[in-house]
Chains A and B, each alone.
Chain A
């Protein structure tokens, strides 16, 4: 019985999302967009029979499958992964061009400035730009939701740890 608790919770979550009317889930499902701190959900406490670390694991699994967490994760990944791929491709193209096509890179553009200078400067500028875009995205679209999740998750695990003492 004890060993299956976490998995059962997990499976019901995965299979049949939100239909159970679990207060934890509902609040998150409606709340991620307008996390205003009001009406914080009463944390769902898993069955008392399981040992604490099992129940903590169940909580993390549950949070991982919640819509709020999935939203935070996909917002992060939808920005970070394409951005990482794009700058890496742009950097690779730059060093490949520098090593294989020096003729193209040496073509003058204006005065002493040539294509290579502009490309190098472009690497600097794109790095600064991407840094600004990423931190702006994280600040506006991810930080608050992640913080809410953090407090909620810690509240749930604290209840368990507190109950044990």
Chain B
């Protein structure tokens, strides 16, 4: 990769950063700092705008580069990710989006606290939301570091570290100055850029094969060196039973975790009604679905045009498959077209990461200020403005994420994302579904459901081969590995549901019938919704 690519890519990075900073300044002019404004952007986004913003929040660089790369290397097994990430949206659409919009104000804890004793429930849900957000954030930061180092052709640690620090600093600026309104517009710009980039490359791949998808698949299978096996599952997850169970665990976490991601839930509060929330999910399913369909074309296209070996040679995890494909589609490394396309893809990937981290930071600062600080501060302390606390929290989370991102920089990004989804599915989803649909659910059940999912998920990760006991572990020297799977979802998600049920049936207090009635009526009709 020559200097031209890097100069142009850096230029486009800078343009994107400048544009987003301009957006942040523009939308934050003359705004009074109300909580409504900071957390929910005034609640007046249209369904289409919010649909683009949701898609922007969800489609991370791990999807754009990671999934295409996995398909380029392992064929069909990479496609399983695409399917899981999309199907997950049905849980959100059918069971969560509208009801959450109607019941809550800013966070997940609002929905649960509406029918429970407020303090313990807020502390529990706030803790798990912040945990999930930080895990997801670290994944994105690590991804940003290695991506930028990769795209700039430098493998040195310094570039990676400065990228993590720079991304962290930018996201704190976006969030604490611009709040939800700026974050949403950044997501929208990013979603448009990402879709535009993906469409351009997909069209170029299809043109190369004269629109013949069958020909594309056959060429990909042939150039991968695996033949027909490339087009069937099993290359990556077809080994022993541990590997297969691990994949099932990951598949469950992907499909159930999305509905528990705090930064996705908080997006539904930016539209005025439940109907608008539903329509924004429909928009985002359309966008996300077509995006993942395109990643399939891009992945097989990279295998067919660049070749699996060339992809593997550039980056063992396959993360450079799409940039290499862009270079080739543009006319080769020495052509203007190739240079431009490569730089565009790099800039789009960078924009993707910046936008995603901003969304997560905002959601977790809301959890800190609105749930944890409000519940834990001394009752007679001087009350501070919640928004001021949230701005400080955004900076604090930025510092934590930068530190963890630097520590974890050698961990696999896809693993970290899968882990965040598994924790979200174990700690947040059971309590959310029980609160919305179970008449007899109690405060104790809610608290148990959160901790009963969160604690096992985290413990199982510590005891897994990811942390110790194998050569690729975080601590390869020691061995306290006990749990064979890398992803805890298969065990911890049922445990979360079980703990919620157990806490409820052993609860000494009866369920609050009146509050359940209020929650149910509000959830389904929107009465009293803010």
Contacts and interface: CB of A to CB of B under 8 A. Distances in A.
Interface of A: 6, 10, 56-58, 60-61, 63-64, 69, 72-73, 76, 80, 83-84, 87-88, 91, 94-96, 98-100, 102, 105-106, 108, 110-114, 116-117, 120, 123-124, 127-128, 130-132, 134-135, 138, 143, 146-147, 149-150, 153-154, 157
B373 interface: no
Interface residues of B, number: 57
The 7 closest A-B pairs by CB, nearest first: A106-B232, A153-B527, A112-B217, A102-B234, A57-B514, A98-B233, A64-B517
B502 to A, nearest CB: 23
B90 A84 contact: yes
A130 to B, nearest CB: 6
A61 B234 contact: no
Contact of B514 (A6, A135, A143, A150): A6
B90 A60 contact: no
B19 interface: no
A87 B451 CA distance: 28
A98 B524 CA distance: 38
Residue of A95, A113, A128, A153 with most chain B CB atoms under a 10 A cut-off:
A95
Interface stretch (B30-38, B79-87, B391-399, B420-428): B79-87
A91 B255 contact: yes
Nearest to A56: B518
Contact of B83 (A94, A108, A146): A94
Contact of B214 (A69, A106, A111, A127): A111
B214 A95 contact: no
B289 A128 contact: yes
Contacts of B77: 98
A87 B90 contact: yes
Contacts of B228: 106, 108, 112, 114
B90 A57 contact: no
B181 to A, nearest CB: 27
Given A117-B231, A127-B289, A95 B90 contact: no
Contacts of B414: none
Nearest to A111: B214
Given A116-B76, A138-B278, A69 B521 contact: yes
B342 interface: no
Secondary structure at chain A's binding surface: helix, strand, loop or mixed? helix
A135 B279 contact: yes
B282 A131 contact: yes
A96 to B, nearest CB: 7
Interface string B280-294: 011001100100110
Residue of B76, B87, B513 with most chain A CB atoms under a 10 A cut-off:
B87
Interface in B460-514: 513-514
Contacts of B43: none
Contacts of B289: 124, 127-128
Contact of A113 (B94, B214, B248, B296): B214
Given A102-B233, A108-B228, A150-B526, A60 B514 contact: yes
B221 interface: yes
Contacts of B90: 83-84, 87, 127, 130-131
Nearest to B233: A98
Contact of B229 (A69, A106, A143): A106
Nearest to A110: B214
B520 interface: yes
25 contacts: A6-B514, A10-B513, A60-B514, A60-B517, A60-B521, A61-B513, A63-B527, A64-B520, A73-B520, A94-B83, A95-B247, A105-B233, A106-B231, A108-B228, A112-B228, A117-B231, A120-B79, A128-B289, A131-B282, A131-B285, A135-B279, A149-B525, A150-B525, A150-B526, A157-B527
Contacts of A73: 520, 524
A60 B523 CA distance: 12
B126 interface: no
A6 B521 CA distance: 16
Contacts of B79: 120
B94 A83 contact: yes
A80 B77 CA distance: 30
Given A108-B228, A110-B214, 11 more contacts: A6-B514, A72-B524, A87-B87, A98-B234, A100-B244, A102-B238, A112-B218, A116-B232, A120-B83, A123-B86, A134-B93
